[in-house]
Structure 1
Amino acid sequence: MKIIYSIFLFFLTALFLSCSSLRNEVDPSQLGVESAKLVVSSFLSPQDTTLAVKVTRSATVVGDSISLLQTGNNITDATVTLSEGNKSVRLPYNNVSKSDTARSHPYYSVDARLLPIIAGHTYTLTVVTANGQQATSTCTIPAPVQPKDIVLDSLNRRYFIRANWQDPGGQVNYYQAAGIFRYILTSCKSCQMSTNDNLSFDDDTRGLFSDAGVDGSIMFSGRAYLTPSGQQANFYSQYKTASVLINLMSVDQAYYRYQEAVIRQRRSRNNPFAEPVLIPSNIEGGLGCFAGYNNAVLTLKLK
């Protein structure tokens, strides 16, 4: 028995040593870390009052020892230009104070009246940094699609709304549904201003849709619950006033592909067995997303 135990211990030790030999320390300087790329993000809409572009540099993913050497990725000295046909406008950099929590992300921006965003028109974004890096992209603004109805319903005494709309036939369309539930509670005797809660849709894509396979038909959003689970009080008796505002954004393909990949990436986060999700980019010379959308609004007054 002692001989068998010794043989087993010998093989176990050999196995441990062979596995340990597979682990080698590597000098990060020998990995050939790729130089940082421009990361550009901008979303244009005819409803916006400001044209804004975010410009940063990508960060390495080799390790903390290298990442910590990078002090801030915002690019503040680039020349950012938006153009359409023979019209163009330069966007200056806005250095927003860190104390301004409502606008905590520095960006390049300009008044939208200087270059109106119009459905069907194609816009070009050009970013040139002080050291000569350049990134460009184009996007075409989709036509708006008006929501048709907002329907209030309940499931197990829990109230929700669903929106629907007529998809234009004979073309590829993409949508992003969003909304707000506005109300004043009857329990608040002195309340004058309404509370605004963002709606969250329960479909797998969180309000993001393609008309693939349903072209030209009536399309429906997922359910957006207005009351928390387990709430038993009568819905209407809770509110002095209540209304739902639905935003149906017609988005371009770049917007849809980018947001759909972000949703899949967040869904697989913390899952070591999930396949990696590559975030698509339509930025030539860099990374990011330059996309267009068009917003249409429908309001349902509940009380």
Structure 2
Amino acid sequence: MKIVATIATLLLLGVFTACDTLIKDVDPSLLPQTVNKLVVHGYLSPQDTAINIMVNRSNEVLGNIYNNTGSSASLTGATVLLSSQNREVKLPFNTKDLVYRISVKEMPIVEGQTYSLKVTLGDQTVQSSCTVPKATFIKEIKFDSTLSTSMFSSAQTYYDYLYRIVWQDVPNQVNYYRVAGYLFQIEKIQTGPNNYQMMPNITNINFRDKSRLGDLVSDQNVDGETMISDAGRISAYTLTRPVQNSRQVTLMLLSCDKNYYDYHRTVRSFDDDNPFSEPTLIPTNIQNGLGCFAAYNKSSINITLK
């Protein structure tokens, strides 16, 4: 038995030694040298009331990532210019929401029109442009429900609401879409022994039950045909405390440009929970920088729940 134990110990030591040899320091001089780039995000839509542009810097490949800028807040000190139809406006920095913002009254967003963006911060300047696509209107909403079991008790069941968006694809051109929606309701929340407060609540509708890309659709192989989305789910758990007649579902169909579609599809495809995921090259239409400057046109339908 002593011999067996000794052999087993030696084998384990050999395994650990072999594993240890796989980890080697790499000389930083052998790796590609990178610099922080400007990262710009901005999305234009005729239905929005304001234009928001985020400006940040990319993280370094090497070093402690916690020392790099990973905040969702924009960096201050940038010059952000938006132009179209021989008109140019400067977006000031909004100190409350930490973005560069103007009202659409200063630069209306018009279907079919092209907009150019120029951002300068320090010695770096990036540029981009996008064209607002034509809106595609919702043709029909298909409603269904499914019986679900409570995660707390198998004896407790309830019905989830399911919504599918139907639309007619524009023929003879490549089209990109995104479906979305939310539930708005007023909830009666107990804040004390005999005290209640009416509070608004917004819950996003999940169109990604079957796939993490379920809300992003193109008309590849279905050009000009009637298209239907995956089911968007509202869990009945979110419907347990509403004030009567306060519930409203809003369903939206976004006609996106290619920049919007490619960027969000790639980001959504990356599995950051998987430690074995390979690095993903995220597309960008920001010249000399990173990020996405894109446009979409939205149509929507409101449904009041009883």
Shift of 1:32: 5.9
Task: Give 5+ residue unaligned stretches, structure 1.
Answer: 97-102
Q: Deviations over 1:107-134 (max 9, x none)?
A: 111111111110101110001123x211
2:115 counterpart of 1:123: yes
CA drift of 1:59 comes to: 0.9
Matched AA of 2:171: G
Q: Which residue of 1 aligns with 2:228?
A: 220
Q: Report what 1:113 is aligned to.
A: 105
Alignment match, 2:41:
41
Task: For 1:141, give the aligned amino acid.
Answer: V
Q: Choose 214-223 or 288-297, whichever is displaced more.
A: 214-223
User: For residue 282 of structure 2, what is the aligned residue in structure 1?
Assistant: 279
Structure-1 separation of matches of 2:203 and 2:20: 54
Structure 1 counterpart SS, 2:166: strand
Say if 1:301 and 1:63 are closer, same or farther in 2 by CA, change over 3 A.
same
The answer to whether the aligner puts 1:135 opposite 2:126 as a matched pair is: yes
Inter-CA distance 297–14: structure 2 relative to 1 (3 Å threshold) = closer
Do the aligned partners of residues 122 and 9 (structure 1) sit closer, same or farther apart at CA in structure 2, a change above 3 Å counting? same
Is residue 69 of structure 2 the alignment partner of residue 77 of structure 1? Answer: no
Name the CA distance, whole Å, in 2 between partners of 1:243 and 1:68: 41
Note the C-alpha offset of 1:241: 5.0
Q: Residues 16 and 191 of structure 1: is their aligned pair in 2 closer, same or farther, counting only changes over 3 Å? A: closer
Alpha-carbon offset, residue 194 of structure 1: 5.9
1:192 to 1:9, Cα distance in 2 relative to 1, 3 A: closer
The whole-number CA distance in structure 2 between the counterparts of 1:139 and 1:71 is 27
After TM superposition, give the deviation of residue 57 of structure 1 in Å: 0.7
RMSD, matched Cα: 3.5
The 3-state SS of whatever aligns with 2:273 is coil
1:169 aligns with 2:171: yes
| Structure 2 unaligned regions, length at least 5 | 148-158, 191-195
| Aligned twin of 2:93 | 93
Q: 1:21: Cα distance to partner?
A: 5.3
**1:137/1:80 Cα in 2 relative to 1: closer, same or farther (>3 Å)?**
same
TM-score, normalization by structure 1: 0.79
Could you tell me which residue of structure 2 aligns to residue 211 of structure 1? 219
Task: Tell me the CA shift for residue 62 of structure 1.
Answer: 1.7
Instruction: Report % sequence identity.
Output: 39
TM-fit CA distance, 1:162: 1.3
CA distance in 1, matches of 2:109, 2:223: 27
